[in-house]
């Protein structure tokens, strides 16, 4: 099938519109309301085209292309009509910059916007360097406004966390409304009022924080005029250096575009590449920059002398750490590995501990230990099955122990896509407050018993007396069994107790095998728990998740970081120093009550200041890059580990670059690829192949509101307001 556009024939792809085929063949048709990721709206009317046989012009964005259709996009009467429509749009928009003859020179001389509360011209516009409206004005040759202009004079909305709204710039394209409903599944905003008073807003024009808004910034991304913008980066200078990286604020591993100026991170935005489908979340988008630039960062190595922590040179700090660690037997030394370290950094951390002859190493995670215990004996790897994008094809989705709003928010985008295609979505969560609005929410008394009941109802439905939990489980079981493809997502809320978490993980795997399981993913309570496991930085594991089979070595079941530990090497603050610990080395980017108790402090990097590899909750490999300048004497964690390994006199620390460490890890860490999923073992091969060393100093505080143990709200005041309004306490 073909269609003729402007005198030339083009092949048709079934289901596409006139605008789709034009874009695919680089034919320019102006539009302001259309976006490739959103449904057709037909609101701006700028994409009108002439189709042979049609009595009137038709919107290209909403008209399916048909075989033998003859289309004209460039006739003079069409462009004249578009210019008249554009004039009407401009009559209610601050237009001094758009029709200014000196615009280009102004942008060259004043590359950054001037700070002002209300936008009246280009000098005050946050979108001045990427204005879709100006691009259309330029393409249509509009250089004056002949209709009477009328300024909307809408009040500015500046009291919300993170987001600034100036609807005087709004052209009512509806992109923000559609992305909020169609992609994010939230519907926090909608059209309000009519005629000249029409605008975008929340119910009763209340603040966003009182609506269902999740502060993902998707509305900001699609806004063509800057009507919705970020409060923190609204007036930030254009970055000197830009690049692509991976977010580690949660385990979703979103691909992000990052910018730096003068060695400081200035902006993070979702990348068009990656399985986050150009979406981000509150933490990755709005919290990374202020955390990275926090005034409370650790800047100097310090050593406790006469009971006081004093700044010292790196050499002195390392010498003190080495002297302290070597004063204890290997079994008396323990390490806590942060789930926010890169694969390379976690690999070096475990190499230090194994070099010292100790296996007393654990991840600062409530989930890692129970998952390792439950799945380590039932699967060949502690890893999920399927990918986040596979969720979109599922007919039933079961979410256990989280509400996705902060734990892995972008996962909800894929869940919503499944729901739009007819999938049943169930959210099993105790005390749910902020959750996916289309989910059937079940509030059990406890996770473990409920999952047990659910498995019973799948295998033998209706055999037990009715109870509220059993009736709810029966409803879920029926949907799971009827589904051709099922997704099960297990979150950190079910792992506050180690024993119950182990039970939930075990039952989730059994449930997955009892239905048409397609996706089984752990929503880890840390940005790179999967990567740290792959690096072997956990008890009984070596790189590549080779599970230690020497049961005699670990048969005692003794907690590796409990009784008998006298020296602690921390890369993540613990809730409290265990009794009996005599020496503490603390390595991290932020201070804490624990660091003040440390004998040696080694200032290190955030993920936004280092380079390396991370692995998302579904096994996708992501790359981290950065052009940030670390505070004063702080170093990237991988450099600190290398220096420590050399100072300890250990073999295997002759690395000069991250790429060398990546090669030494020995895993297929190609960015954008997925590591092999977990494979359930035959029933007869299943056994507990790891000891009972789980949650050594837990339960850990909520990871969703912290980074490297630091409360995000300490550096991002707006985050506190959002978390409080959501009642988020996991």
Under DSSP, the state recorded for 680 is B
pLDDT band at 555 (very low <50, low <70, confident <90, very high): very low
Residue with the larger pLDDT of the pair 432 and 148: 148
Residue with the larger pLDDT of the pair 541 and 24: 24
CB under 8 Å to 370, separation ≥6 — which residues?
495, 498, 499, 501, 502, 504, 505, 694, 695
Q: What percent of the chain is predicted at pLDDT more than 70?
A: 94
Under DSSP, the state recorded for 349 is H
Q: What percent of the chain is predicted at pLDDT more than 90?
A: 69
Residue 54, both tokens: 């049609």
Identical fold, 2-109 and 302-365+529-665: no
What is the tens place of the pLDDT at every residue in 703-714? 889 999 999 999
What is the tens place of the pLDDT at every residue in 439-469? 999 999 999 999 999 999 999 998 888 899 9
How confident is the model over 607-623, as a mean pLDDT? 96
- What's the pLDDT score for residue 290? 94
Under DSSP, the state recorded for 544 is T
Q: Are 567 and 581 in contact (CB under 8 A)?
A: yes
CB under 8 Å to 393, separation ≥6 — which residues?
418, 421, 485, 518
pLDDT(487) > 70 = yes
- What's the pLDDT score for residue 551? 41
pLDDT(407) > 90 = no
Homologous superfamily (CATH) for 389-525: Dimethylsulfoxide Reductase, domain 2 (3.40.228.10)
Q: Is 514 exposed, middle or buried (0-12, 13-18, 19+ CB in 10 A)?
A: middle
Average pLDDT taken over every residue of the chain = 90
pLDDT(123) > 90 = no
Alpha helices of 127-217 — where are they, by DSSP H? 132-140, 175-178
Closest CA to 249 of 220, 209, 276: 276
- Out of 66-70, 248-252, 684-688, 691-695, least confident range: 691-695
- Longest CA–CA separation in the chain, Å: 91
**Cross-strand bridge partners of residue 244:** 257
pLDDT(689) > 70 = no
- What's the pLDDT score for residue 115? 67
Residue 514, both tokens: 């009892």
Q: Tell me the C-alpha distance between 5 and 12, whole Å.
A: 11
Q: Tell me the C-alpha distance between 463 and 473, whole Å.
A: 13
Residue 682, both tokens: 């035959």
- What's the pLDDT score for residue 539? 82
Q: Tell me the C-alpha distance between 464 and 503, whole Å.
A: 21
- What's the pLDDT score for residue 542? 83
- What's the pLDDT score for residue 104? 74
3-state secondary structure at position 532? helix
Residue 580, both tokens: 């009996």
- Helix, strand, coil: what percent of the chain each, to 5? 30, 20, 50
What is the tens place of the pLDDT at every residue in 214-265? 999 999 999 998 899 998 887 787 889 999 999 999 999 999 999 999 999 9
- What's the pLDDT score for residue 696? 56
Q: Tell me the C-alpha distance between 243 and 256, whole Å.
A: 9
Q: Please give the class, per CATH, of domain 2-109.
A: alpha beta
Whether the CA torsion 167, 172, 173, 176 is positive or negative: it is positive
Q: Are 459 and 442 in contact (CB under 8 A)?
A: no
Domain extent listing, the chain: 2-109, 302-365+529-665, 389-525
What is the tens place of the pLDDT at every residue in 179-204? 999 999 999 999 998 888 889 999 88
pLDDT(353) > 70 = yes
Q: Tell me the C-alpha distance between 259 and 269, whole Å.
A: 9
Residue 496, both tokens: 């506050």
- Three-class DSSP labels, 60-81: CCCCECCCCCEEECCCHHHHHH
What is the tens place of the pLDDT at every residue in 537-552? 988 788 988 765 444 4
Residue 238, both tokens: 């254009």
- What's the pLDDT score for residue 261? 92
Q: Are 474 and 426 in contact (CB under 8 A)?
A: no
Q: Tell me the C-alpha distance between 151 and 162, whole Å.
A: 26
Q: Tell me the C-alpha distance between 191 and 76, whole Å.
A: 33
pLDDT(553) > 50 = no
pLDDT(698) > 80 = no
pLDDT band at 128 (very low <50, low <70, confident <90, very high): low
Q: Are 205 and 103 in contact (CB under 8 A)?
A: no
Q: For the structural domain made of 302-365+529-665, what CATH number should be given? A: 3.40.50.740
pLDDT band at 376 (very low <50, low <70, confident <90, very high): confident
How confident is the model over 306-310, as a mean pLDDT? 92
pLDDT(96) > 80 = no
- What's the pLDDT score for residue 729? 54
- What's the pLDDT score for residue 560? 54
Q: Distance of CA 50 to CAs 6, 8, 18, 71, 515, Å?
A: 10, 15, 11, 6, 53
Q: Tell me the C-alpha distance between 280 and 276, whole Å.
A: 7
């Amino acid at each position: 099938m073909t269609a003729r556009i402007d005198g030339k024939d083009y092949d048709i792809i079934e289901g596409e519109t006139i605008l789709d085929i034009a874009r695919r063949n680089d034919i320019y048709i102006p539009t302001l309301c259309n976006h490739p990721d959103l449904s057709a709206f037909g609101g701006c009317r700028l994409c009108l085209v002439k189709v042979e046989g049609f009595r009137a012009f038709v919107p290209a964005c909403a008209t399916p292309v048909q075989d033998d259709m003859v289309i004209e996009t460039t006739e003079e009467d069409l462009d004249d009509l578009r210019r008249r429509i554009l004039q009407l749009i401009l009559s209610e928009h601050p237009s001094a910059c758009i029709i200014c003859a000196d615009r280009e020179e102004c942008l060259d001389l004043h590359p950054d916007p001037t700070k002002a509360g209300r936008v009246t011209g280009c000098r005050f516009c946050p979108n001045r360097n990427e204005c879709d409206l100006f691009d259309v004005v330029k393409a249509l040759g509009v250089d004056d406004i002949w209709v009477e202009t009328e300024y909307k004079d809408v009040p500015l909305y500046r009291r919300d966390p993170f987001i600034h709204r100036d609807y005087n710039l709004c052209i009512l394209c509806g992109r923000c409304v559609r992305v909020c409903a169609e992609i994010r599944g939230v519907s926090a905003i909608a059209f309000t009022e009519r005629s000249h008073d029409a605008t975008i807003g929340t119910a009763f024009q209340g603040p966003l924080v009182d609506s269902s808004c999740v502060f993902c910034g998707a509305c900001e991304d699609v806004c063509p005029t800057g009507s919705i913008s970020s409060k923190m980066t609204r007036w930030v200078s254009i970055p000197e250096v830009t690049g692509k990286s991976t977010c580690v604020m949660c385990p979703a591993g979103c691909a992000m575009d990052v910018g730096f100026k003068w060695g400081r991170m200035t902006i993070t935005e979702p990348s068009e590449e990656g399985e986050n489908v150009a979406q981000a979340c509150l933490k990755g988008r709005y919290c990374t920059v202020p955390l990275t630039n926090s005034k409370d960062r650790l800047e100097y190595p310090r050593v406790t002398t006469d009971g006081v922590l004093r700044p010292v040179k790196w050499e002195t700090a390392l010498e003190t750490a080495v002297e302290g660690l070597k004063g204890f037997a290997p079994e008396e030394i323990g390490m806590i590995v942060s789930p926010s370290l890169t694969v390379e950094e976690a690999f070096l951390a475990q190499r230090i501990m194994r070099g010292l002859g100790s296996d007393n190493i654990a991840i600062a995670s409530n989930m890692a230990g129970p998952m390792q215990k439950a799945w380590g004996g039932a699967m060949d790897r502690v890893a999920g099955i399927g990918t986040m994008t596979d969720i979109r094809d599922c007919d039933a989705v079961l979410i256990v122990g989280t509400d996705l709003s902060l734990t892995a928010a972008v996962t909800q985008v894929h869940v919503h896509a499944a729901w739009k295609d007819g999938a049943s979505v169930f959210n099993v969560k105790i005390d749910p407050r902020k959750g996916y609005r289309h989910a059937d929410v079940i509030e059990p008394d406890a996770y473990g018993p409920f999952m047990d009941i659910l498995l019973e109802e799948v295998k033998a439905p209706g055999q037990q007396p009715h109870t509220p939990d059993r009736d709810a489980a029966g409803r879920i079981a029926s949907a799971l069994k009827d589904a051709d493809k099922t997704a099960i997502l297990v979150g950190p809320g079910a792992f506050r107790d180690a024993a119950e978490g182990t039970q939930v993980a075990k039952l989730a795997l059994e449930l997955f095998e009892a239905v048409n399981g397609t996706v089984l993913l752990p929503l880890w309570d840390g940005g790179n728990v999967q990567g740290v496991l792959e690096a072997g930085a956990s008890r009984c594991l070596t790189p590549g998740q080779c599970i230690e089979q020497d049961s005699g070595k670990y048969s005692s079941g003794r907690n590796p970081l409990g009784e008998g530990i006298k020296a602690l090497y921390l890369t993540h603050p613990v809730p409290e120093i265990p009794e009996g610990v005599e020496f503490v080395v603390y390595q991290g980017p932020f201070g804490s009550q624990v660091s003040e108790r440390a004998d040696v402090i080694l200032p290190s990097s955030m993920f936004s200041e280092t380079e390396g590899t991370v692995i998302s909750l579904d096994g996708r490999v992501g790359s981290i890059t950065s052009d940030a300048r670390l505070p004063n004497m702080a170093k990237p964690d991988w450099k600190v580990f290398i220096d420590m390994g050399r100072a300890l006199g250990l073999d295997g620390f002759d690395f000069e670059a991250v790429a060398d460490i990546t090669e030494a890890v020995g895993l297929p860490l190609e960015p954008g690829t997925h590591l092999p999923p977990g494979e359930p073992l035959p029933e007869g091969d299943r056994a507990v192949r790891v000891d009972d060393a789980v949650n050594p100093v837990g339960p850990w505080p909520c990871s969703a509101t912290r980074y490297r143990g630091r409360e995000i709200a300490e550096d991002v005041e707006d985050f506190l307001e959002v978390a409080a309004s959501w009642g988020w306490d996991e």
